[in-house]
Chains A and B, each alone.
Chain A
Amino acid sequence: NAGVTQTPKFRVLKTGQSMTLLCAQDMNHEYMYWYRQDPGMGLRLIHYSVGEGTTAKGEVPDGYNVSRLKKQNFLLGLESAAPSQTSVYFCASSYRGKVEPQHFGDGTRLSIL
């Protein structure tokens, strides 16, 4: 049982490059989330999705785009990476977001030079 899988685990980018982070869950969860964690801080919500084909902004959405074309996948895109986006990115998923805990992936460590 894989749970929530994030790829890649590590990545180094140059300023201005683009990339996509992939999150896949095998628990048939409706809700999926992308968070970022900066040093010494808790996680902050970037974007989330309450179902296939839907996305919404979280606390810190600027500079990111997301897509949820399939229920099991949630993609986070950086169109033009900036050093301020250096962070650890976590994906999570849950049933309906209300009566079940969120399950987290192991994170993607992203460095922008």
Chain B
Amino acid sequence: GIQVEQSPPDLILQEGANSTLRCNFSDSVNNLQWFHQNPWGQLINLFYIPSGTKQNGRLSATTVATERYSLLYISSSQTTDSGVYFCAVERASNTGKLIFGQGTTLQVKP
């Protein structure tokens, strides 16, 4: 099956710093989503981005489908950005089945 690898596995930042999280996938996809799991365990949908670039406030994401990777940028990080960031992809199956990466655990220190 399709493999999804996220890097780095762990990241510690000082408040105000910028960061880039990476998601590599091993096959063509027709869906890619980035999620933030907050310290309370809730999954927050950040981006639906099978290709191209999107921005939402301090966050932006770029997916280069032909090269099978996606990047999540966090600028001017805040302590509330702490948590686990997941990338999830769907192969061209038309059933919406998502395959999740292992996640990047981000800790932003004040």
> Size band of the B side of the interface?
20 to 34
Partner of A102 from B94, B98, B103 at Cβ < 8 Å: B98
**A residues near B98, Cβ cutoff 8 Å:** 33, 35, 43, 45, 92, 102
Contact across chains for A98 and B42 when beta carbons are under 8 A apart = no
Residues in B36-53 with C-beta less than 8 Å from chain A: 41-43, 45, 48
Contact across chains for B100 and A102 when beta carbons are under 8 A apart = no
Contact across chains for A102 and B102 when beta carbons are under 8 A apart = no
> Size band of the A side of the interface?
20 to 34
Known: A98-B30, A100-B48, A101-B48. A42 touches B102 (CB 8 A): yes
Determine the distance from Cα of A107 to Cα of B40 in the docked complex, in whole angstroms: 10
Contact across chains for A48 and B86 when beta carbons are under 8 A apart = no
**A residues near B43, Cβ cutoff 8 Å:** 90, 104, 107
Q: Whose C-beta in chain A lies nearest to the C-beta of B98?
A: A102
Chain A CB within 10 Å, residue with most, of B31, B90, B101: B31
Partner of A56 from B42, B88, B95, B99 at Cβ < 8 Å: B95
**B residues near A31, Cβ cutoff 8 Å:** 95-96
Q: Is A83 an interface residue (CB 8 A)?
A: no
A56 shortest CB reach to chain B, Å? 7
